[in-house]
Chains A and B, each alone.
Chain A
């Protein structure tokens, strides 16, 4: 195995992991506030097609990103109204959102089936990108990949270094206490849900505009669900979300190279690998219930009734 191949796999793994970084970090913030939104897949799909259409019509990446995020947030707003205002079951509402998103994105994307976009050019940083090894490894991506890293830093900083982040986590742990202290639990949860939606939408845009810039119905292909699994895998910690996303990206990419090493495994069996690996990782993580209970927001998935206080 030569160095350039390893480098190639690592670079590809980062690109493959980036949609998970967006979606899983967004979901992490939502879950930290105590809300479980299972609609990530649907929000990603709607974000993907909206961004795709915006890109196809305007050619502006900024517009694609903004509209994709807005679409994801709009989907999340529906979820917010259902679960926070109407106090519906979060699991059922999240499923509904995903099913709705699958239909809506297929519907919106009809005229764009197999339509190809030019993609997003990599940023070429003078000097840095030309460095050997480090150049391709760190400075050979498009602007969205760098944004995802910025997002990671921002989310980590927000959650653990700001007052607002502390409040958000506090609401996830004990909404009643936050309510008693005079904080608007529902309002803050709305913001967290909307943020999660916007990030899922952005993850979708990255997929449809940059990663594989061709519209195919259902192109998110389970990545929203994997993002949900990543949050559990990461025991609700941003750094581990990031690591998990690139790890999953790496496994996804590695399967394309296994045959290159002369190992004869049918491609279908190889493409099961990332998902089987996810299940195994979930088994390993979930066995340690103490860590899970310690790190998962205590009120996660539970409907909060302000009038019951």
Chain B
């Protein structure tokens, strides 16, 4: 009963958003049905398309899973963008420092560096919240902007490709990173790479962390009722910091995968954050909210949004429909997911849910 209803809400939210999107498509003079057929055909209609979708979903899933952990601990992490950037920078630096290390060691090394970079950036905001009462919403946003400028500084400075300097073109990008750090392609001739597996493992790992370890229990306890948690002897500041560090670590891994799974195998900046992250730091929040802050449900959720990104590109090519439409659709989906809380409550109040699942639903509502 619970799972059925729990599934119904995100589905309704997506459907409603798609209907609104159809209206927008119509006003643009495109046929909504064939538009959607193009979109979803491109994203899920072929192995190649699905491979593309899977690759696009990696950062969304990783950031989304991190958001699940943070939000469960009642920490609002809007710093995914900055944490991705910092993770990628540290991973890139490691790859530049140790280009000769064999793949089997170097790939874990750069992923770990990504996690550390992101965790560090997240932990700053966490510590500021835990010990100085600084709103993490504001500090993570500010740290995003700082991280992006730091990236621009490094990629125009010490990390820049020497060839760019020699040529005088000065494109802010690193040299081609060590091939030993390239994420292996899973299927010959396609883009799907090891990052997909890593993202899935992280999602499962996050689920285990949250519901199968005492660490996860503490995180959730702090999120659910900090006063009760404190009374039970759980350190609220430590767990708040830990939640942001975990969340940042996952965003950092996403950043590292963006670099080492890219086609150019470089880290490039266009001066803003979206040029590097593709706004995954923000869209990951959408992914997590649609998934009801559940790491495993984040997998289909991320695939949906990844597919929409791939589909949006196809739509732009085929029907000249701007891909910005899809960003607006993402926002609409969250709007609908968020508003569904009301109907969830109404449904529960109507007494059709048994007591046990009622309690669980309430917990989810509160955390959402």
Across the interface, do A110 and B139 meet the contact criterion of CB distance under 8 Å? no
Given contacts A92-B289, A92-B334, A100-B332, contact A282 B134 (CB under 8 A): yes
A89 contacts the other chain (CB 8 A):
yes
Chain A 53-90 per-residue mask, 1 if CB under 8 angstroms from chain B, else 0: 00000000000000000000000001001100011110
Across the interface, do B334 and A272 meet the contact criterion of CB distance under 8 Å? no
**A279 interface neighbour in B139, B286, B289, Cβ under 8 Å:** B139
Binds B, one of A151-159, A187-195, A222-230, A235-243: A222-230
Across the interface, do A88 and B342 meet the contact criterion of CB distance under 8 Å? yes
Least CB separation from A90: chain B residue: B338
Across the interface, do A110 and B322 meet the contact criterion of CB distance under 8 Å? yes
Least CB separation from B138: chain A residue: A229
**B338 interface neighbour in A88, A222, A275, A283, Cβ under 8 Å:** A88
Least CB separation from A38: chain B residue: B137
Q: Which A204-230 residues sit within 8 Å CB-CB of chain B?
A: 217-218, 222, 225-226, 228-229
Binds A, one of B56-64, B115-123, B148-156, B185-193: B148-156
Least CB separation from B329: chain A residue: A103
A268 contacts the other chain (CB 8 A):
yes
Which residues from A are CB-within-8-Å of B215?
A: none
B341 contacts the other chain (CB 8 A):
yes
A266 contacts the other chain (CB 8 A):
yes
**A86 interface neighbour in B326, B328, B339, Cβ under 8 Å:** B339
Least CB separation from B345: chain A residue: A87
Across the interface, do B145 and A96 meet the contact criterion of CB distance under 8 Å? no
Across the interface, do B132 and A286 meet the contact criterion of CB distance under 8 Å? yes
Chain A residue total in the interface (Cβ 8 A): 48
**A103 interface neighbour in B134, B153, B324, Cβ under 8 Å:** B324
Across the interface, do B331 and A100 meet the contact criterion of CB distance under 8 Å? yes
**A91 interface neighbour in B137, B157, B322, B331, Cβ under 8 Å:** B137
CA distance A175 to B328 in the complex (A): 34
Chain A 286-309 per-residue mask, 1 if CB under 8 angstroms from chain B, else 0: 110100100000000000000000
Across the interface, do B324 and A106 meet the contact criterion of CB distance under 8 Å? yes
B300 contacts the other chain (CB 8 A):
no
Chain B residue total in the interface (Cβ 8 A): 50
CA distance A38 to B297 in the complex (A): 26
CA distance A286 to B133 in the complex (A): 6
Across the interface, do A95 and B285 meet the contact criterion of CB distance under 8 Å? yes
A149 contacts the other chain (CB 8 A):
no
Which residues from B are CB-within-8-Å of A287?
A: 132-133
Least CB separation from B272: chain A residue: A218
Identify the 4 closest CB pairs spanning chains A and B, nearest first: A100-B331, A103-B327, A103-B328, A96-B334
- 14 A-B pairs besides A268-B156, A272-B150 with CB distance below 8 A are A86-B342, A88-B338, A88-B342, A95-B76, A99-B282, A99-B286, A99-B330, A99-B334, A103-B324, A103-B331, A229-B142, A271-B149, A272-B146, A279-B128
Contact surface of B with A, Cβ cutoff 8 Å: 24, 76, 78, 128, 132-135, 137-139, 141-146, 149-150, 152-153, 156-157, 272, 274, 279, 282-283, 285-286, 289, 322, 324-332, 334-335, 337-339, 341-342, 345, 368
8 A-B pairs with CB atoms under 8 Å apart are A89-B338, A96-B334, A96-B338, A97-B331, A99-B282, A100-B332, A226-B142, A272-B145
Contact surface of A with B, Cβ cutoff 8 Å: 38, 42, 78, 81-82, 86-89, 91-93, 95-104, 106-107, 110, 217-218, 222, 225-226, 228-229, 232, 266, 268-269, 271-272, 275-276, 278-279, 282-283, 286-287, 289, 292
